[in-house]
Every structure is written in structure tokens, then in C-alpha cells.
Amino acid sequence: MPSASLGLDRLAPVSPPPTTTLRQSTERPRPARPAHTAPAAATAATPVLRLKDIHLSFGGVTALAGVDLSIAAGEIRAVIGPNGAGKSSLVNVVSGLYRPDQGRIWIGGKDFAQVPTPQLARLGVARTFQNLALFKGLTVRDNIVMGRIATVRSTFIEQWIGLGRARRERDDARARSDEIMGFLGLHSVRERLAGTLPYGLQKRVELARALVAHPQLLLLDEPMAGMTVTEKSEMAHFVRAARDQFGTTVLLIEHDIGVVLALSDRVAVLDYGRKIADGTPAQVRDDPAVIDAYLGVAHAEESL
């Protein structure tokens, strides 16, 4: 049975975590969009994100070779592939850290040769990183509030005086942070220094910091790396809940194939920078090219 080679025997249904669910939250839920409705700037006809013919290389190393990708509003879209396939490069192109050698990027219908990173939040994009990128000496609450700063429009003077728009933005940042902490079950640790939390909770704080900006598109670069099975299940639950409750569109890079196939609406597979498959989890799981790509890695590792 070839699918077992992709680790599908480890595929477990993603169920809500036992202790922290939306219903158990004491927070009053925000007046959320109904599940799966399109965010304001995107319609059913306009993908939230579209990549066309993206090429990227580093010296002689090809990271991406002609990749096309589109993500519809409200989708959980995964990109998988063996080590070095180009997944992180793709996320870095979308977030503007890398300028592709060739190709175009559309975010919410706006067209870029390179995404302007400073404008990412205003374009409705937030991301988490493969390695934890929290301020470990700040409290959980302060870390989460930081995620709102990129969306602030008031000037330094307005903030210094503390009036008008600046005060509204500060109040809004606090309210939104409280709401997200309730959503993610983080209220009880809000005054703890982020660096003192267990790893799985720190990853959840990172997710909170991304969600507090109310992004239309959330880029998750290996959000479950290094997690226990229980922590992965909790994280998967929260990613799905963010989509269902806030309408957040998700681009997910993840190595755990079982989690990806259980959580995603569509999956693109990269190998050596090329897209070798794209479809529903069932289509991708049974695709011979995908099985070959993963088996090739497994065989190479066995022969070492």
C-alpha cells in the first residue's frame, strides 16, 4: 500500500484539544464572519494569493523553478515536499524577504515583482517563523500586542500625546489581544514571560501574535515542528478554528504529512523547486510522483 510510505498510517483525525476550546473560552466571541466567507478585499473570483512562474536561485542552487500557486479565500492550503524542496523559499517570496528572479505575485489582487515587506500587514498578511521568534523577556500579552503594531497608523506625536486616533488604536490593540488570548486559551499565562512557557505554548503565542493583526492571509512556516502529538493536535485545531471563526486564509508549510492531509483543503507538493503535484489531500496522497519524491528520500536515507 503505497500511501503508508507517506506516513499515512500516522494520520489521526484532528480533534479539539481537551482543555482549551472555543466554547470553553470566557471571552465573548467577536462578531465573526460566518464560516468560510471571503474577507473584504477578496471575492470568490479573486484569489487571496496567486504566484505565477516563480523562479529563485542562490548562486548555482535552484530553490524555485517556475512555481504557480493560487489560494482561494478561506482555504487552508498546504505546501509540502522533502528537505530542500523550496518550501521556506516560497514563504519568503510571499512575505517579501526574497525577490524572485522571475515571476509575479498577486496579493488580494495587487501585483508585485517583490512583495514590499514593510507593507505586509497593510496587505493583510501575517506570518510565523520556522524557529520561534518571540521576545522571550516580554510577557505573553506584550508579545501579542506587538503583532498589532505593524497595523498602527497614528504618528509618534499622536501616540506621545495619547489622544484621538492613537488612543483608539491602543484600546483596539488591547481589546483584540484579549480576544485572541481568549480564543487561544492563553489568558491564564498572559502575565508570564514568554520565554518561560513550554515550547508548545510559545508556538501558540506566536500564532496569537500573527492573528492579532486580523490577517486575511496567514503564512505558517512549520508551526508544528518539534511538537508532541498532543501539541500538534491542539495547533491543528486552532488553525482550523481561525479559518472557521475569522475567515483567515492559511498557507501552511509542514513536514508532518498526516497533519497536513487531515487539515488542508488543497496540497501542493514541491520537489527540487518544482511543483510536482497539486490537488486535494486524497489526490496528492495517491499521486505516483509524490510517492516517488518521498520514497526517493527514504531510500537515500536508508542507503547511508
Ligand X SMILES: Nc1ncnc2c1ncn2[C@@H]1O[C@H](COP(=O)(O)OP(=O)(O)OP(=O)(O)O)[C@@H](O)[C@H]1O
265: three-class secondary structure by DSSP:
coil
Binding region for ligand X (CB under 6 A) out of 42-50, 80-88, 179-187, 291-299: 80-88
260 binds ligand X (CB under 6 A): no
Q: Under rule CB under 6 A, which residues in 120-149 are in contact with ligand X? A: none
Q: Which is nearer to ligand X, 36 or 299 (CB)?
A: 299
51 binds ligand X (CB under 6 A): no
- Tell me how far apart the alpha carbons of residues 262 and 13 are, in angstroms, rounded to a whole number: 6
For the CB of residue 255, give the shortest distance to ligand X in the complex, in Å: 6
Longest dimension (CA), the chain: 67
Which of 16, 84, 103, 279 contacts ligand X by CB under 6 A? Answer: 84
100 binds ligand X (CB under 6 A): no
Q: Which is nearer to ligand X, 61 or 157 (CB)?
A: 61
Q: Which is nearer to ligand X, 16 or 84 (CB)?
A: 84
Binding region for ligand X (CB under 6 A) out of 44-52, 76-84, 158-166, 168-176: 76-84
DSSP string, 137-189: TSBHHHHHHHHHHTT--S-HHHHHHT-HHHHHHHHHHHHHHHHHHHHTT-GGG
- Tell me how far apart the alpha carbons of residues 105 and 114 are, in angstroms, rounded to a whole number: 7
Contacts of residue 168, defined as CB under 8 A and 6 or more positions apart, other chains included, come to: none
> Pairing relation of β-strands 274-279 and 110-112?
unpaired
Number of residues that bind ligand X (CB under 6 A): 11
Q: Which is nearer to ligand X, 88 or 202 (CB)?
A: 88
95 binds ligand X (CB under 6 A): no
Which of 1, 4, 45, 61 contacts ligand X by CB under 6 A? Answer: 61
For the CB of residue 238, give the shortest distance to ligand X in the complex, in Å: 22
253 neighbors 79 (Cβ within 8 angstroms):
yes
270 neighbors 79 (Cβ within 8 angstroms):
yes
- Tell me how far apart the alpha carbons of residues 137 and 128 are, in angstroms, rounded to a whole number: 19
Residue whose C-alpha is closest to residue 144's, from 206, 86, 82, 99: 206
88 binds ligand X (CB under 6 A): yes
For the CB of residue 81, give the shortest distance to ligand X in the complex, in Å: 5
The residue ranges that bind ligand X (CB under 6 A) are 58, 61, 63, 81, 83-89
